[in-house]
Structure 1
Amino acid sequence: MSASTYDNSSISSLKGADRVRKRPAVIFGSDGIEGCEHSMFEILSNSIDEAREGFGTVVYVTRYMDQSIEIEDFGRGIPVEYNEREKKYNWELVFCELYAGGKYHNNAGGNYEYSLGLNGLGACATQYSSEYMDVEILRDGYKFNLHFEKGENIGGLMKTKFRHRHTGSKIHWKPDLEVFTDINLSLELYQSILKRQAVVNSGLRFVLKNETSPGEFETFEYYYENGIVDYVKELSHGKELTAIHFMEAERKGRDREDLDEYKVKMSFAFCFNNEYNALEYYHNSSFLEYGGSPDKAVRNAFVYAIDQYLKQNGKYTKNESKIQFSDIEDSLILVSNSLSTMTSYENQTKKAITNKFIQEAMTEFLREQLGIYFIENKMDAEKICEQVLVNKRSRETAEKTRINVKKKLGGNLDVANRVKKFVDCRSKDVSRREVYIVEGDSALGACKLGRDSEFQAIIPIRGKILNCLKAEYDKIFKSDVIIDLLKVLGCGVEINSKHNKDLNSFNLENLRWSKVIICTDADVDGYQIRTLVLTMIYRLAPTLIEKGYVYIAESPLYEITCRDKSYFAFNEAEKAEIIKKLEGKKYTLQRSKGLGENQPEMMWETTMNPETRRLIKVMPDDMEKTREMFDLLLGDNLSGRKEHIANFGHEFLALTDVM
């Protein structure tokens, strides 16, 4: 048949294992690492379903060095013998037929009323996608063994009389690289999955064994006695604004009038927290990355309940806009855990559920329960609503500030025309360009005359610069001095604040300089300006400090003149050394003048000539320690600052103007 022939013999279908092996993405959502992960979870979910039915309290998961996986539970053991109704062995139905299993009949009192694996694909699809799979089952006084290779059973069912102390199933398999492009499931992935399963299956212990060398294992355990309540407590790090609240209920309903009725069990644990926030949704033990019905219900109910409280208690100001869920989410830690006897997933990977009834039932339940909670917990209600309003107003202020900053810093910038008194250099080579940040117009004049205009630019600071560590962002970005400095730097701003993330515009590639040099007088006022400029960079562009772009130009403390020759001392030791060399000669000694009073030649020699100047690179060895020190000296820690001055202030008395 030629390649172009298309007739009745051209149509074919995939059969047996090929339905999975040739199209894994159809079953697992991906033929990459995500699909491999999902194939593992299908086996794990069967063990979880058994435990949740009351059979077994621990599940063992082993990650081997050869990338094979073993999952062992202590449930009832998978039935594998002959099935009269189906006229087949159960092991064939479970491991060799898609859409077969024990979870389709969800009538009251049946097996797996609330089940994670409802589609009958898991064990079979994972077996079909494996290089090999070994199954060991203990039940009914026997040990049953099965072996599969690349989707085919080898040797049939082996049945051995066995006196077992417990029942259960153990499955060891290796995902096949002929099916998946990547099978290297990381240790972190296993840890994340098992931790989440422990969260939503209270009282069920998960033991992870990770092979580190042949026959050697490290062990991790995950267990939450009180499920999502314990997990919310963990997420809150002891910083709760309100106590953790738990709610649960069970409902019956339909997604549509002509569809079957089903049950849903729901539970929620939440608290409010000023430092941490998190939203996590689980359904039938599956983590819903995209949420779906539970997420829509939470958003609707929390906005409704809190908005009602604010209106009824006169918390809004006149003409103030309504809260949004983002204002609540900023301070909310909530975990939901739901189960249903019928579930509609967006797809087989179960990242979101779409049940209309589940969404409606959750919304109604949450609205009602939040209303009761606010009545019964007046103090918590007040705290929550006050914080939500703070978040809302911060968001609105941040939005106005963002528009303002974008307007001021955005666009094609001709810096020389738009920044007052900025003096640019000629070179366009960023690797050579340097900018000197100097104090005042007089220093500008001296530096301008003393510089090399080919690669050295100057921007003066006019007036007192704001302490950026204590000021709010809206105030910071109203400062012309700061805006001008940011324009000259060109790299934008780094904002990590919860309410001001949209202000972030930092891009190191847009930095216009190889060196940012802070050049101030060697006196108390100069040191203060230097510190405030450093604080501004630390708050708004800390990467410049981390990457070593920021420098301090040392100014000489003393000028010593002898026979028309000048010597410059940058500290007391150097002064003593120069005087010693001039012993027996007549010289004059004076404190260095301010930069604005220096001659151009002196400015070039002491401060601007790359061959003779002294630059200190600002490079924090420990960013956390640096952050603490900035906060101590320039932040809101007033008592800490007083204590620091009392303990160490005497060391700096020589630098003050106090006699």
Structure 2
Amino acid sequence: MTTTAQRGTRPKAETRDYEARHLLVLEGLEAVRKRPAMYIGSTDTKGLMHCLWEIIDNSVDEALGGYGDTITVSLNRDGSISVADVARGMPVDTEPRTGLSGVEVIFTKLHAGGKFGSGSYNATGGLHGVGASVVNALSSRLDVEVDRNGATWATSFRRGVPGRFDGDGPDAPFTPEPGLRKVGRVAKGVTGTRQRYWPDRQIFLADARLSMTQLTARARQTAFLVPGLTLDIRDDRTPDGAHERFQFRGGISEFCEFLSSDPAVTDVLRIAGSDTFTETVPMLDDSGAMTATDVERTLDVDIALRWGTGYEPKVQSFVNIVATPKGGTHVSGFERGLVRAFAKGLDGTRILKASEEVVKEDILEGLTAVVTVRLPEPQFEGQTKEVLGTPPVARLVTKIVEKQLSDFLTSTKAAQRGQARSVMEKVVGAARTRVAARAHRENQRRKSALESSSLPAKLSDCRSSDVDRTELFIVEGDSALGTAKHARNSEFQALLPIRGKILNVQKASVGDMLKNAECASIIQVVGAGSGRTFDVDAARYGKVIFMADADSDGAHIRCLLTTLFFKYMQPLIEAGRVYTAVPPLHRFELTNPKKGQEKYIYTYSDAEYARKLAELTKKGISFKEPQRYKGLGEMDADQLAETTMDPKHRTLRRITVEEGEALEQAIATFEKLMGNEVAPRKEFIIEGAYALDADRIDA
């Protein structure tokens, strides 16, 4: 017996050469092009939009400083993006250390800009001085024009190299050429910057597309955060040239009202304050060494909040108008301040019993809040700025929120006293519902321990426990269930019947949802909990598939089921594991099928039915009177398996939701279609009625 390796030995290296000549030094913007995801997160649509935010935010920072009140953004037909402002204009004089113009420094030097404490900006979204230069590095062409000092100055860049293009578009002949060109004259006092760039398709994925929906949502948000600023958005890629214009005078109070979708319990409350803290930061001394220096910072806090009758909280946070979707120290300070204020407000009242306790989740229920802070040089986690990390911010925000909200909750003014009592009663009611829901879950667990099986008796489970393979079909109706039992593959397909239409959970409390037998069974069978405690990794099935009739009642049932999963099991939807089955609407039975020709042909829409009818008639193929399925129960097991349940032949529609603005739109849509507010839903139905083809109504 021989062996090729012995214990303790290592594989032989291909070469032992490792010298300085093997090191790769990336100069200037080369590092950005080599590792773009490090600077913009990804090279898909998200990264493409991040580049646009970087350019827009530079203009917004000018507006925050009081310079310029209009920003224009255009998505052009040739794939370029234009951003223009009427602010101070980028510096065009020479920067002494580099010998380059200010424009060239901004667009070609990483970690260069006016936001490092030079006095040009106080509190900005840009911190690292890499935004404009990163966009330049990832663009096949970037043109800049600056109005300043009575003249228009211009230059262009090709993948970060300054020069001149002879013609339009990124493929025009290019000549490298440093410096700015004086291309025109403007009236004295006229200033501003115009930028136009083409994202480099060598860098971004082929399917990366600029989203007008995301752009308008971001523009609207920015207009709320900077009162008086006008953002003009155009999409010239479409034939009609979509155009949106945003300007709001009400600031974050108006933003809070816009985000709210449920009836109000309180008016919009405004909490604002300012405080200072000391931060130790490294600074260059006269000898060029980095020395730890104590710097006094000023923190400005501005919060708008409002409680409604709904259940889901909606808190959006910003630092220097940059969204922080994952929160940070300002949000944790805000939440801690809420808890302390309500502890003081409820103390001594008869609303809360001595044995009861209110926690953060109870206070957040039905709360809509916009939390904004402004401070110089905030510490973010990464260039994408999704989380604020400056530690003292939490303490200061807590102090400001606790003081001002406590004053509201204990106010003796008639107008405030009534609203304060209403919101405290709502919070205590949420606490009691939470306790009742927990008791219900504990009771269910005790039942499970005593019963032979913890799953509902009506569940027809599958034999496999491999989550990657298993599928749970939620089936409406006993007739469809009977057929589905014979049609399924019991190895990996489970069936859970529901009786009719489940509870509309968008209008109901958590307690009411758990009391509903159908909703409780679905959550129990999925096996991953619900709400904030939902654990997607604990789900018992790899796919959850809604299977209902292809009629209006079936559509309503699918909508109710989707609402349940979106509100209480959202991570399952985000993971792409929730589907709806697509049963056929019609069946053609051929009378004399030729060899190799299917005897039965199924169609899944009225349009497909019309096309297939015309095709068969034109070809002279004879068939019996087409069958119109009114429900799943009309199919036999073989037909249901072949068309709807067999993975080899069926069609499934995946229910998905994106993050960010798209998620907010989804939440708003569910609230409009399924929520308590009737007027928006009525308006939606009336608008849709005019677009409905009366011949399609199944009556």
What is the TM-score when the length of structure 2 is the normalising length? 0.62
Q: For 2:307, which of 264, 272, 284 is the aligned residue?
A: 272
Contact in 2 for aligned 1:491/1:509 (Cα 8 Å): no
Q: Does the CA contact (< 8 Å) of 1:491 and 1:510 recur in 2? A: no
- Counterpart of 1:253? 277
Report the CA distance shift for 1:506/1:547 in structure 2 as closer, same or farther (over 3 A).
Answer: farther
Shift of 1:212: 3.0
SS at match of 1:381: helix
Match of residue 308, structure 1, among 328, 341, 344: 344
Aligned to 1:398: 437
Deviation at 1:144, TM superposition (A): 0.6
2:23 maps to what in 1? 11
| Whole-angstrom CA distance in 1 between matches of 2:410 and 2:200 | 57
Q: Counterparts of 2:56 and 2:520 in 1: how far apart (Å)?
A: 57
1:494–1:540 contact (8 Å) kept in structure 2: no
| Residue identity in the other structure for 1:249 | G
2:263 is the alignment partner of 1:239: yes
The whole-number CA distance in structure 2 between the counterparts of 1:37 and 1:244 is 32
- Match of 2:395, SS state, is helix
* Alignment partner of 1:206 is 2:231: yes
Q: Which amino acid aligns with 1:114?
A: A
- Structure 1 equivalent of residue 158 of structure 2: 149
- Aligned to 2:105, the other structure's residue is in SS state helix
Q: SS at the partner of 2:156?
A: strand
Shift of 1:274: 1.2
Instruction: Decide which of 82, 85, 90 is 1:70's aligned counterpart.
Output: 82
Larger Rg: 1
What is the letter of the counterpart of residue 216 of structure 2?
A: Q
Contact 1:67 1:184 survives alignment (8 Å) = no
C-alpha spacing 1:413/1:70, structure 2 compared with 1 (3 Å): farther
Residues 80-89 or 324-333, more deviating: 80-89
Task: Confirm or deny: 8 A CA contact 2:336 2:398 kept in the other structure.
Answer: yes
Find the counterpart in structure 1 of residue 574 from structure 2.
none
SS at structure 2 position matched to 1:351: coil
Q: Secondary structure at the match of 1:248?
A: strand
Give distance in 1, aligned partners of 2:474 and 2:215. 50
2:319 pairs, out of 273, 283, 302, with: 283
What is the aligned partner in structure 2 of residue 362 from structure 1?
397
Letter in 2 for 1:277: P
Letter in 2 for 1:221: R
Provide the residue aligned with 1:220 in structure 2.
Answer: 244
Alpha-carbon distance, 1:280 to partner: 0.6
Q: Which amino acid aligns with 2:217?
A: S
1:119 aligns with 2:142: no
1:387 pairs, out of 426, 429, 438, with 426
Q: Give the 3 Å change call, closer, same or farther, for CA 297–17 of structure 1 in structure 2.
A: same
The aligned amino acid for 2:228 is: G
Tell me which amino acid in the other structure corresponds to 1:204. L
- 1:347 paired with 2:371, answer no
1:338 corresponding residue in structure 2: 373
Per the TM alignment, residue 88 of structure 1 is displaced from its structure 2 partner at its CA by 3.2
Residue of structure 2 in register with 1:35 after alignment: 47
What are the equivalent positions in structure 2 for 1:207-606 lying under 5 Å apart?
207-213=232-238, 217-237=241-261, 239-256=263-280, 259-275=294-310, 277-320=313-356, 322-376=357-411, 377-405=416-444, 419=457
- Of 178, 181, 185, the match for 2:205: 181
Q: What displacement does 1:262 show?
A: 1.3
- Once the two structures are TM-superposed, the CA of residue 289 in structure 1 deviates from its matched residue by 0.9
Q: 1:318 to 1:506 in 2, by over 3 A?
A: farther
What residue is the counterpart of 1:197 in the other structure? Answer: 222
**Cα distance in 1 for residues equivalent to 2:153 and 2:445:** 69
Per-residue CA shift, 1:630-656, capped at 9, x if unaligned? x99xxxxxxxxxxxxxxxxxxxxxxxx
Report the CA distance between 1:18 and its aligned residue: 0.4
**Residue type at the aligned position of 2:253:** V
User: Contact 2:275 / 2:396 at 8 angstroms: preserved in 1?
Assistant: yes
2:264 is paired with a residue of what secondary structure? coil
1:290, CA displacement in angstroms?
1.0
Q: 2:236 is paired with a residue of what secondary structure?
A: strand
Code of the residue aligned with 1:52 in structure 2: it is L
Residue 121 (structure 2) pairs with residue 98 (structure 1):
no
Counterpart secondary structure, 1:212: coil
How many residues in Structure 1 have an aligned counterpart in Structure 2?
Answer: 515
Q: Specify the alignment match of 2:491 in structure 1.
A: none
Structure 2 unpaired stretches of 5+: 1-13, 164-176, 282-292, 465-470, 489-499, 566-577, 584-632, 637-668, 679-699
CA spacing shift, 1:406–1:153, aligned 2, 3 Å: farther
Give the SS at the match of 2:72: strand
Change (3 A) 1:7 1:542: closer
Q: Does 1:160 align with 2:170?
A: no
Q: CA offsets, 1:252-302, max 9 Å, x none?
A: 211359531111211011111112631011111100111101111111000
Give the distance between the partners of 2:473 and 2:348, measured in 1 at CA.
63
Change (3 A) 1:494 1:22: closer
Displacement, 1:477? Answer: 6.5
Output the CA distance in 1 between the equivalents of 2:120 and 2:418. 45
Q: What is the CA deviation profile of residues 183-229 of structure 1, one whole-angstrom value per residue up to 9, with x for unaligned ones?
A: 42211121122122112111101111101347x62211122212101
Q: Which amino acid aligns with 1:288?
A: T
One-letter code of the match for 2:344?
A: Q
The percentage of aligned residue pairs carrying the same residue is 21
